[in-house]
Structure 1
Amino acid sequence: MAEVLDDEQLQKLQNVLYIQFHGLKFEEENTQLITSESGWQKILKLYAASKRLENCADSTIKQYTDCVVKLITALNKRLCDISTNDIRFYLAMFQENRKCSISYMDTIRRYLSSFFAWCSDEGFIPRNPMRRIRHMKVPQKIKKPFSAAEREHLRCIATRERDIAIMEFLYSTAGRIGEVVALNRSDIDWGNREVIIYGEKGKKERKVYLTEECAYHLRKYLLSRTDTNPALFVGCRKPFGRLGKEAIQSMLSQLGKKAHIHTHPHKFRRTLLTDAGNRGIPLQEIQSYAGHKKPDTTMMYVTVNEENVKASFRRYIA
């Protein structure tokens, strides 16, 4: 400050600094990343183990741990030294650099909050730096399901019987993509037109059913196959490996682009649950079919048909 202050002002500044910082000790911040197995990595492994005991899916646990690794790597600080402002800085830079939505940013906040709350409860850190970082207000947007015409259009432009079977199966069972790709041909009970799905979330079994259209296209597809792979859905070329999530997502995305319809696997699940609600199936039964723990989760999927609301209003009130 010598360039901008005279001697008297410098003396005044010096006195103020002496008085204000008396009794305080300043140390250079330690930015050496702890990479030993005895450091944050070991703690993160213990955290992942605790999430497995809570019956969390492996894919969910990976999302949690990946989020924590990115934070600690970016901040380059010891776990116990990470402050609330450090996390605010990280979240701000993350959003600015990647242009993420508020919804996605709140998901990251939720992952980090879970980890640091656990670390604090277990005594690995003296305080929880996420405690003062509040929930982000996410704009509520109604996610529309497919209309009947859109589903028919997708079926018409599909050139493979397999792709039609996949779309009908996703709709009929309201299965999550991870649950569907794990199924085998032997899992189908053709006599009762049903299949038992092992829940990707919550890891509970639930029984789902096949519509006539789904059973027809699925049987037609399976009869056309010449491979011996036990998987329910496989690739179209040798070695006819089991289809993964990415392959089905890519196939549906390409169909959607041709049809000019926003298409992804989870939209079929939303459509079935919405159709079930509009046709009078009780919420509790829809919740059970979807494999949701709470009815609030089911309500997030079920889009209320405005025409039904209008008809009910006129019938019961107007």
Structure 2
Amino acid sequence: MTEKLIQNVIVAMQDSLTDEQLQKLENVLAINLHGMEVREECTQLVTSERHWERILKLYIASKRLENCAESTLLAYNRCITLLFQGINKKIHEITTNDLRYYLAIYQEQRKISLAYLETLRHNISGFFSWATDEGYINRNPARRLKRVKVPQKIKKPYTAEEREHLKDVAKTERDVAIMELLYSTAGRIGEVVALNRDDVDFVNREIIIYGQKGKKERKVYLTEGCVYHLKKYLESRDDNNQALFVRGRKPYNRLGRQAIQDMLRKLGAEAGVHAHPHKFRRTLLTDAGARGVPLQEIQAYAGHAKSDTTMLYVSVKQESVKASFMRLIA
């Protein structure tokens, strides 16, 4: 009855509220009406076998066999662990309302975006679908969790001026080389930090990247500017670490993803540019599309399994749309 009441209210208000307002309303109703149908709930810690932990380990193992990236597996593990700790019930006792309540509380307390809320819903649904298929539970409580409607926002790439400005304010040759490599290879940050010196073929201006997603190798290429700054950076080093990028002080350990993210954030603040590693990937793919590189080739260069994924990255520049319209239609 509680679920029906919530849905009736949402349906009645959907023409008057935005998607975000509807989500907020559903959260408020789920929070305030939670527990009204069943007055007694198990609130004591489950300390016996912690059956869900064993099932979660098996789930993560199954996803590892599917070649999921380690970063993805960590995200799955954290998401499901927080879920069970928050709901605090045995796996077979969890209901759809429990999941709705958990997601609503999570969003209200942590002020997460709708996009992240949908990611959590997707991860939770994936786990319970697998647990049902494998016979660990008789019914899937996540089956009736509806997808979160996420407003589509165009994520803009860097302009040529922004990229130049970032290089102008860079403190070291290493930082410039990192930015040039991120752009030239369209590499994910995890792929870039894993590179070693001998991975770079300066003669043919190419690198073999071992993809994080799908774990497939792909060949990417280096611009003249990337080659120049990489050589200049490597020639300035006097350490023996085989890592392509290292920290600036002894013991010159491999540079990690967090260090690169922090570096770009600081440069971006100084340059007045919203800067992060993945934006270089988007920029290269957008530039490739604008200069006539076929979508299939861009897809292969990016290491995407589906062209739909590539299309999410390749922004269509409005100037190109106008030029094509004026040439072909007007």
Q: TM-score, normalised by structure 1?
A: 0.90
- SS across alignment from 1:105: helix
Deviation at 1:317, TM superposition (A): 1.6
Q: Deviations over 1:230-281 (max 9, x none)?
A: 0000000010000000000000000000001000000000000000000000
Tell me what 1:155 maps to. 167
Relative distance call for 1:311 and 1:231 in structure 2 (3 A) is same
- SS across alignment from 1:275: helix
Relative distance call for 1:186 and 1:136 in structure 2 (3 A) is same
Tell me what 1:17 maps to. none
Structure-2 separation of matches of 1:59 and 1:37: 28
Residue 292 of structure 1 is aligned with which of 283, 288, 304?
304
| Contact 1:34 1:40 (C-alpha < 8 Å) held by counterparts | no
- SS across alignment from 2:176: helix
5+ residue gaps, structure 2, are 1-37
Residue 216 of structure 1 is aligned with which of 220, 228, 248?
228
Tell me what 1:47 maps to. 59
Structure-2 separation of matches of 1:240 and 1:281: 39
Deviation at 1:29, TM superposition (A): 3.6
Opposite residue 112 of structure 2, the aligned amino acid is: C
Tell me what 2:240 maps to. 228
Deviation at 1:305, TM superposition (A): 1.0
Structure-2 separation of matches of 1:148 and 1:62: 35
Alignment of 1:92-241 (within 5 A): 92-241=104-253
Relative distance call for 1:172 and 1:35 in structure 2 (3 A) is farther
Taking only the aligned residue pairs, the percentage that are identical comes to: 66
Deviation at 1:34, TM superposition (A): 3.6
Structure-2 separation of matches of 1:45 and 1:190: 43
Relative distance call for 1:43 and 1:36 in structure 2 (3 A) is farther
Structure-2 separation of matches of 1:188 and 1:36: 53
Relative distance call for 1:28 and 1:101 in structure 2 (3 A) is closer
- SS across alignment from 1:109: helix
CA RMSD, 1 decimal: 1.3
Structure-2 separation of matches of 1:118 and 1:239: 45
Tell me what 1:306 maps to. 318
| Contact 1:32 1:78 (C-alpha < 8 Å) held by counterparts | no
Tell me what 2:83 maps to. 71
Structure-1 separation of matches of 2:50 and 2:165: 57
| Contact 1:181 1:232 (C-alpha < 8 Å) held by counterparts | yes
Relative distance call for 1:169 and 1:39 in structure 2 (3 A) is same
Opposite residue 275 of structure 1, the aligned amino acid is: D
Q: Which entry has the higher C-alpha Rg, 1 or 2?
A: 1
Consecutive aligned runs of 4 or more in structure 1 exceeding 2 Å deviation: 26-38
Q: Give yes or no for the alignment of 1:268 onto 2:277.
A: no
Structure-2 separation of matches of 1:68 and 1:254: 33
Q: Deviations over 1:109-139 (max 9, x none)?
A: 0000000000111111111111111110100
